[in-house]
Amino acid sequence: MAGTSADALDVALVEFRAEEEPTADEQTGGLSLTMRLLASREVPFEQQLALDILRLLEPADVPLQLVSSVDARLGQTSAEAVSTLCRDAQTSCDLVVSHGQTVRHDVVDGVVTSTLQLGQPAWIAAATGLPVLSDVRARDVAAGGQGAPLASILDHLLLAGGRTPTAMLNLGGIANITVVSPTAETIAFDTGPANALIDLMARRITGDPRGFDRDGALAAQGTVDPVLLADLLSDPYYTLPAPKSTGKEHFHADYLDRHLNRRRAAGTAPDDVDVIATLTTLTARTVAQACRAHGVRDVVASGGGTRNPTLMTQLRAELHTELHSGPHTGPDAGVELRTTDEVFGLPEGAKEACLMALLGWLSWHGLPATLPSVTGAAHRSIAGRLTPGRRPLHLPAPSPLMPTRLRVVG
């Protein structure tokens, strides 16, 4: 899995087991799925590949040759990462699932018109000899959906049977939440930028083209600029109804500069550390506002943003403020913010790669991987397309049952 931060590849080796789950009247109701994380690692991109990916994420035109080159090099990088992980774990697998790197996710008037992920799966199939599932978003887009957030199926199964509205939060380049409630349909959407704008400002401050705000140290030195924050919060995206999705094609360098230039034109130029402090608050506040709007009482977070203590502290404060200004007030009011590692024993850095494995298991067994209530699609659909390995494809018989819950085991 390569996320919107575009800095590394997350790779995981995952084992699934399924058992039929009887209902109260002893009729088969669905599948209880267990997921065991056998191995995982983060593989940083080679510097030139990372810089080329970042170039593709900017809104300017790029040479087609660069698109083709990144597609091949990312496929080769993925092939080496999978081969190394399996070799070190001294095991093989039935299927490789590759999300690739999203370089375009075009939204026109709230409708996703196209989505493009790079990372040629043929390189992975050739290197490993295994079948590869890829291009996992396009089928949902073709069905009228957003093609995102994909994490909702994993979140929905992990939180099944909960008693309070709970949000699974991913803090990657873009922040997205899945809200699972005992009294409503599961809903998920992108709340806005998580690390995307923070990383941009950190790179300007440090001069490192792959830099980020390590431990939130830069934001901790600054003070929030209330005028800049109000201008950023006025973006119409935040008031759009769910389902909705966004990406770096919206929250990019030119976007940030437009807001900074308006601030400078007013006669005041905030210090760089004040800008990054303001962007950190922007992420925390937009996430908290989205949680409040859907009555969330608990938040379980994952993604690179959880390793930024300044962001996490700010998010806790914003969640507390939003809840106390909403309907759930009183002496016991409060939103608990924890990580997937704390709640499920699932390392936050491996969650997205485990999601890809789950999508692969579902597609391999002929099961849909998207929730129309989440993506807005007209119907559920089986995700992805298959590239054969060295041997002819032999898929198992399609499962007549969907998983109804998922448990992480050690």
The DSSP bridge pattern shows strands 132-134 and 184-193 to be unpaired
- CA-based end-to-end distance of the chain: 22
Band (399; pLDDT cuts 50, 70, 90): very high
Q: Which CATH architecture has domain 8-149+377-409?
A: 2-Layer Sandwich (3.30)
Between 333 and 31, whose confidence is greater?
A: 31
Topology of 153-344 in CATH?
Answer: Nucleotidyltransferase; domain 5 (3.30.420)
Stretch 240-256: mean pLDDT: 92
pLDDT value of position 122: 99
What distances in angstroms separate CA 257 from CA 150, 193, 201, 254, one per listed residue?
30, 15, 10, 5
Q: Which of 77-81, 161-165, 213-217 has the lowest mean pLDDT?
A: 161-165
- Cα 320 versus chain centre, distance: 24
Q: What are phi and psi of 21, to 5 degrees?
A: -115, 110
Give me the residues paired with residue 108 across strands: 111
pLDDT in tens, 286-321: 999 999 999 999 999 999 999 999 999 999 999 988
The DSSP bridge pattern shows strands 336-339 and 298-302 to be parallel
Band (330; pLDDT cuts 50, 70, 90): very low
Contact 35, 14 (CB under 8 A): yes
Contact 128, 389 (CB under 8 A): yes
pTM: 0.91
What distances in angstroms separate CA 239 from CA 145, 165, 279, one per listed residue?
19, 21, 18
- Residue 345 corresponds to which tokens in the numbers above? 């024993």
Domain with CATH 3.30.420.40 in the chain: 8-149+377-409, 153-344
